[in-house]
Homo-oligomer: A and B are copies of this chain.
């Protein structure tokens, strides 16, 4: 199994909350998010992001807004909702707990 495939599987279920964490600082538009996530090696392409944003919109985690005022093409800015903030807090708990279990196992295997 290549490093890339390992990373792909690890990203499952994490990406959604990384988006929420990024948005907790203020709204961002699609490609801007993609850039941030790519820099952190949290996505491999935009093909993950846009379907994810659509799901998050449907689930009320983010609220989009078209911005046509600026220069260039219209951008769709996303803001985190109250519900999104709550889910981020829940995720953080689960992440910390599960991460500790995995860390313990990996420690023990060395």
| Alpha-carbon gap, A18 to B98, bound state (A) | 11
Q: Please, which residue of chain B has its CB at the minimum distance from the CB of A18?
A: B105
| Count class of interface residues, chain A | 35 or more
- Which chain B residues border A22 with CB–CB below 8 Å? 105, 109
- Which chain B residues border A105 with CB–CB below 8 Å? 18, 21-22, 40
Write out, one digit per residue, whether chain A residues 66-110 have a CB within 8 A of any chain B CB (1) or not (0): 000000000000000000000110111111011101101110110
| Alpha-carbon gap, A3 to B1, bound state (A) | 29
Q: Which residues of A pack against B, CB within 8 Å? A: 1, 3, 6-14, 17-18, 20-22, 24-25, 40-42, 59, 87-88, 90-95, 97-99, 101-102, 104-106, 108-109
